[in-house]
Amino acid sequence: MRKLCLFFFLLLSVFIVEAQQKVALSGKVTDNTGVGLPGVSILVKGTSTGTVTGIDGDYKLETSTGSTLVFSFIGFVSQEILVGNQSSIDVMLQESVVGLDEVIVVGYGKMTVKDLTSSITTVKSDELVKTPTGQAMQALQGKVAGLQVVSSGGPGDSPTVRVRGIGSYPGQNNEAPLYVVDGMFFDNIDFLNTADIASVSVLKDASAAAIYGVRAANGVVLIETKSGTYNQKAEITYDGYYGTQVAQNVLKMANAEQFTTMAMESGSAADQSFVLNAMQRYGRSRVNPNVPDVNTDWYNEILRPASIQNHSLNFTGGGNQASYSLGTNYFSQDGILDMKNQYERFNLRAKIDFKATDWLTVGGNVVFSNALKFNDEEGAWNQAYFAVPIMPVYDEQNVDAWPEHFSNAQDLGYRSGQNPFPTLLYNENRLKIRKTIANFYAQFQLVPEKLSFKTTYSQAFSALDERNVNLPYYMGNNFQRPDATLTQKLSEYSNQIWDNVLTYDDQFDNHSITLMAGQSYRDEAYHGLSAQGINFPVDQENAWYIDQAETIPTTGVSDGGSRQYGISYFGRLSYNYNNRYLVYGTMRADGSSKYQQKWGYFPTIGAGWVVTEEGFMADNKVFDYLKLRASWGQLGNDKIQASDGASTTEIIKTAIDDVEVSGTKTTSTYSTLEWEVAEETNVGLTAQMFGNRLSADIDYYIRDTKNAAIYVKIPSTTTSILKNVGIIRNSGIEVTLNWRNKISEDLSYNVGVNFSTLKNEVRDLYGQPYIDGGSAEFRQRSIVGEPLLAFFGYKVLGVYQNQDEIDVDPAAPDSAVPGDLKYQDQQKEGEDGYGVIDDDDRVVLGSYFPNFMYGGNIGINYKKWEFSASIVGQSGNKILNRKRGEIIWTSDGNMDADLAVNCWHGEGTSNKYPSSAGLRKGWNQKMSDYFVEDGSFFRIQNIQLAYNITGVKLGGTKIPESKVILTADRPLTLFKYNGFNPEVANGIDTQTYPIPAVYTIGLNVRF
């Protein structure tokens, strides 16, 4: 029905012919010094007729009286001139004030920066491509105040992105902002090639994002892919780089000697005997005969340098009626983990805009991405951490082992085999990702220059083909995989959006107004099917199909799907009086099938005052431009998991009398959810100062998420269900300053800094004092007045150095011995609970949200040289060193060198870490700030040096305009945390892929 409607509409649209008087025009376009500007685009407004100025700025054009000419040129303010009876029009273009006249995309339309009343930051293509990465969002790290990008080291893995803190209870894949790529909604943009992106706009506050209503609570990132321009000469460009990645800040683990010392001091006869076994099996070190003659640095063994490369070829151009942009791209990145771990992506895209008539423009855009990804086996990172250094990688004495003779820690007495190599070598996780996004639009100019209607249909189709293969091996009785298993999973996502937008623009006297009304229909469907096969011909990869498997267990088959619909209506008013007073408002009504509450309404209003337009500011020497702005808005969040709203019954199987039978299990606990609503107030200013050399954007915001859906643990069960039980507040200040100056024709530079603060706070839990999260052993608690999911436990005062110290401490338990941790008793003498360490002594130990993030950049252009550097950092966040906590479950593994060296080895040796024996005691394993460490870091994010080759001739032929680029990405990171990567998205460090430094050499050529 809907498709039919569209067709109907197209048919009924009528051709218009206007008869007006023709005039022949000529003239010259110059800059403010009178120098002719070549290449200036001159367009008859509302048509596709136009021309371009010649080498001296001259032009000739035939047009009709009463039409308006638009003169535009990059870096200059566009000018519109009404054609009267003149035959010659000379135009002087003014250099534009950087940024203010920039047209940026906002939801369902565009605006100039000048007209904004909300907080939007746009990053352009040339900034993005500085970072050699397959993940466009990674390139934004440190560039946008208030945007937190937590890198992922694995090839093809998307970073975690948070806009202004976290407004929704995490752990449901619900923190990510909404990505809108050319109008289509995405959860991530891992499939896009960075160089294909024209601009990324981060809509940070509610007022900017509210036009996306229910999907916008975590912020919105608008992405426009590159398009061609009308009347532009065809341009062919090649961009490419090749480089290598090197693991950084590799965590130093205890070496054989340190490990042996810890084992000997553990007081565990078993652990001591394992070291003796190692000496018997592998000999004694000649340097220290009490240490086995093996010293394996497992991280060193499993890491490797890895290559990265990217090649893009783009064609853009346009004529009077059509503009086009076509491109292809190949990206490949190997993982630094020594296994089949790589990412390879091939993209094609085409974007065409066609002015069919004066009143109709049609266009289409297709991006196809075909990626092949071999995921790392995450467990290997963990195994390498715990694998004891007194065991070699290979052990020829392990004669029964196959396919290779890897060592087995069980041969020394350890509980697990520990060696990470079987995990690395006998697993393969292949993922084929094919994504297509296609959209087509038709835009009708109903009233020239005033009223237009645009209808856009977008479809995103993703097919994921996942194959996980586990190959058999035998390293020992308890370190073997007798069966080869194969899991195939096919998933399909088909999302459609159909937008219809009516836009009205008008100017009269000093009033300028834009009205927009629209409607959108959304359909998101998913289907996934997976099955397992056991024992198939392992040596022939072409036989890795379930059909070839000996056994296909029924328990390995799963089939699932989901489908959600959304219908929305939205409108926007943007009003500008004399460029001095700005008013802005939007409203969106969203209907969603996801919750029991179907409809949500999301309004916003904003206002701006351009102070510099006032008379009293006319003579000021500081501000060239100053705008004060304020906005308020409401947003919804439908990224949280759909609620069932009713009791569900699932199938559950078991064996009765050796026969598999099915039964049912009915859950009585289920969630009934309402919309999560975020309400945000933003005040800020935008300024240009000191002759437009300094630009500043300063914002302060408060965002409250109401009805926050939080997992509430159900007592005495393993279940948690979502309930709308909280109000979470994020507030902060964001400052962005940029200074740019041109010292001479040859030398110019710019310096930028940005920083943001964040305060995350639980404001209300609807009557409850707290809600527990995290795990039972590593408690995270959301308490009213404290950050969401704050680490919660005991404060360590130090380590008991001797018996006297224990005797005088009333809070010391009977079992305390020197070398145990001393916790803080939160009660004073005389208070209830004094003299004993109990539950009431637990306090908030910190939050995983940084409260301060900063970035900075500097750029210098000298003649043909370009240099740029950027930094990024954060502070105030805590990381749970969960690896150290693993000792609760398994105490015989290795530990990091810092712990081994700095733990308590006797009176006066350490006041920080317990003794080796103490590490194994429950008393010292309580959740405490021993496990919770400072996650601050500072990083040199990117250094780039480029040389432009222009006007060079070689053997008589002109070499095309080229640029050679050397890049060092993330070459240095400084931090105190005892892990090898302080970027831990959820603050719990179990196994994090290290972030490599990347060194590349690149080349750009423009034909």
Interface of this chain with other proteins, residues 218 to 257, rule: CB under 8 A: none
Residue 647 found at the interface with other proteins (CB under 8 A): yes
Residue 495 found at the interface with other proteins (CB under 8 A): no
Residue 269 found at the interface with other proteins (CB under 8 A): yes
Stretch near other proteins under the rule CB under 8 A, chosen from 118-126, 680-688, 745-753, 774-782: 774-782
Rounded distance between C-alpha atoms, residue 845 and residue 787, angstroms? 10
Stretch near other proteins under the rule CB under 8 A, chosen from 34-42, 88-96, 287-295, 645-653: 645-653
Q: Which one of residues 35, 234, 270, 622 is an interface residue with other proteins (CB under 8 A)?
A: 270
Residue in the structure block whose two tokens are 């990465």 = 133
Phi-psi region of 418 (alpha: psi -120 to 50; beta: other; left: phi over 0): left
Minimum CB separation from other proteins for residue 652, in Å? 5
Q: Measured from the CB atom, is 599 or 862 closer to other proteins?
A: 599
Size of the site for other proteins (CB under 8 A): 108
**Distance spanning both ends of the chain, measured CA to CA:** 48
Residue 399 found at the interface with other proteins (CB under 8 A): no
Rounded distance between C-alpha atoms, residue 417 and residue 414, angstroms? 7
Minimum CB separation from other proteins for residue 593, in Å? 5
Q: Measured from the CB atom, is 47 or 312 closer to other proteins?
A: 47
Q: At 958, which amino acid appears?
A: K
Residue 68 found at the interface with other proteins (CB under 8 A): no
Minimum CB separation from other proteins for residue 277, in Å? 8
Q: Measured from the CB atom, is 28 or 921 closer to other proteins?
A: 921
Near other proteins in 550-579, by CB under 8 A: 550-555, 559-563, 565-567, 569
Residue 280 found at the interface with other proteins (CB under 8 A): no
**Which tokens is 605 given?**
């209003």
Phi-psi region of 724 (alpha: psi -120 to 50; beta: other; left: phi over 0): beta
Residue 767 found at the interface with other proteins (CB under 8 A): no
Pattern 312-351, other proteins, x by CB under 8 A? ----------------------------------------
Instruction: Name the packing angle between helices 256-265 and 269-282 (round to 10°).
Output: 140
Rounded distance between C-alpha atoms, residue 469 and residue 375, angstroms? 12
Q: Which one of residues 330, 346, 354, 474 is an interface residue with other proteins (CB under 8 A)?
A: 474
Residues facing residue 71 across a β-bridge: 42, 79
Q: At 303, which amino acid appears?
A: L
Q: Measured from the CB atom, is 620 or 669 closer to other proteins?
A: 669
Residue 715 found at the interface with other proteins (CB under 8 A): yes
What is the DSSP secondary structure assignment for residue 377, as one 8-state letter? -
Within 10 A of 305 (CB to CB), how many other CB atoms are there? 12
Minimum CB separation from other proteins for residue 46, in Å? 12
Q: Which one of residues 19, 399, 618, 655 is an interface residue with other proteins (CB under 8 A)?
A: 655
Residue 719 found at the interface with other proteins (CB under 8 A): yes
Minimum CB separation from other proteins for residue 722, in Å? 14
Residue 268 found at the interface with other proteins (CB under 8 A): yes
Rounded distance between C-alpha atoms, residue 315 and residue 234, angstroms? 7
Rounded distance between C-alpha atoms, residue 438 and residue 330, angstroms? 20
DSSP assignments along 857-910, one per residue: EEEEEETTEEEEEEEEEEES-EEE-HHHHGGGT--SS--BHHHHHHEE-STTS-
Q: Measured from the CB atom, is 343 or 536 closer to other proteins?
A: 536
Q: Which one of residues 502, 573, 784, 1003 is an interface residue with other proteins (CB under 8 A)?
A: 502
Residue in the structure block whose two tokens are 């189709």 = 461
Near other proteins in 926-955, by CB under 8 A: 926-927
CB of 209 within 8 A of CB of 701? no
Q: Measured from the CB atom, is 65 or 578 closer to other proteins?
A: 65
Stretch near other proteins under the rule CB under 8 A, chosen from 38-46, 115-123, 823-831, 920-928: 920-928
Q: Which one of residues 52, 348, 372, 642 is an interface residue with other proteins (CB under 8 A)?
A: 642
Near other proteins in 784-813, by CB under 8 A: none
Q: Which one of residues 657, 745, 829, 832 is an interface residue with other proteins (CB under 8 A)?
A: 657
Residue 547 found at the interface with other proteins (CB under 8 A): no
Find the DSSP H helices in 297-347. Answer: 298-302
Near other proteins in 161-220, by CB under 8 A: none
Residue 972 found at the interface with other proteins (CB under 8 A): no
Pattern 811-850, other proteins, x by CB under 8 A? ----x-----------------------x-----------
Minimum CB separation from other proteins for residue 11, in Å? 10
Residue 9 found at the interface with other proteins (CB under 8 A): yes
Q: Measured from the CB atom, is 31 or 505 closer to other proteins?
A: 505
Residue 534 found at the interface with other proteins (CB under 8 A): yes
Q: What angle do CA 749, 754, 758 make, to 5 degrees?
A: 175
Quote the radius of gyration of the chain (alpha carbons, Å).
32
Minimum CB separation from other proteins for residue 655, in Å? 4
Near other proteins in 401-440, by CB under 8 A: 410, 413, 415
Q: Which one of residues 58, 338, 404, 483 is an interface residue with other proteins (CB under 8 A)?
A: 483
CB of 669 within 8 A of CB of 637? no
Q: Measured from the CB atom, is 160 or 445 closer to other proteins?
A: 445
Helix (H) or strand (E) holding 316, with range, is strand 306-318
Burial code of 357-372, b = ≥16 C-beta within 10 A, e = fewer?
bbbbbbbebbbbbebb
Residue 542 found at the interface with other proteins (CB under 8 A): no
CA distances from 77 to 410, 445, 581 (A): 74, 25, 21
Own/partner pairs for 68-74, CB < 8 Å, 24+ apart? 68/44, 68/449, 69/25, 69/42, 69/43, 69/44, 69/45, 70/41, 70/42, 70/43, 70/44, 70/45, 71/29, 71/40, 71/41, 71/42, 72/40, 72/41, 72/43, 73/29, 73/37, 73/39, 73/40, 73/41
Stretch near other proteins under the rule CB under 8 A, chosen from 3-11, 20-28, 621-629, 691-699: 3-11
Residue in the structure block whose two tokens are 């490949």 = 332
Find the DSSP H helices in 105-232. Answer: 125-128, 206-209
Nearest CA among 616, 513, 495 for reference residue 566:
495
Residue 271 found at the interface with other proteins (CB under 8 A): yes
Q: Which one of residues 49, 429, 707, 891 is an interface residue with other proteins (CB under 8 A)?
A: 891
Residue 588 found at the interface with other proteins (CB under 8 A): no
Residue 591 found at the interface with other proteins (CB under 8 A): yes
Residue 482 found at the interface with other proteins (CB under 8 A): yes
Q: Which one of residues 372, 451, 529, 972 is an interface residue with other proteins (CB under 8 A)?
A: 451
Stretch near other proteins under the rule CB under 8 A, chosen from 135-143, 267-275, 429-437, 681-689: 267-275
Q: Which one of residues 45, 311, 580, 713 is an interface residue with other proteins (CB under 8 A)?
A: 713
CB of 586 within 8 A of CB of 569? no
**Which tokens is 406 given?**
């890897």
Residue 616 found at the interface with other proteins (CB under 8 A): no
Q: What sign results for the dihedral spanned by CA atoms 89, 90, 92, 93?
A: positive
Q: Cis link prior to 403 (omega < 30° from 0)?
A: yes
Is residue 270 helix, strand or coil?
helix
CB of 694 within 8 A of CB of 635? no
Minimum CB separation from other proteins for residue 182, in Å? 22
Residue 8 found at the interface with other proteins (CB under 8 A): yes
Residue 886 found at the interface with other proteins (CB under 8 A): no
Nearest CA among 765, 626, 884 for reference residue 169:
765
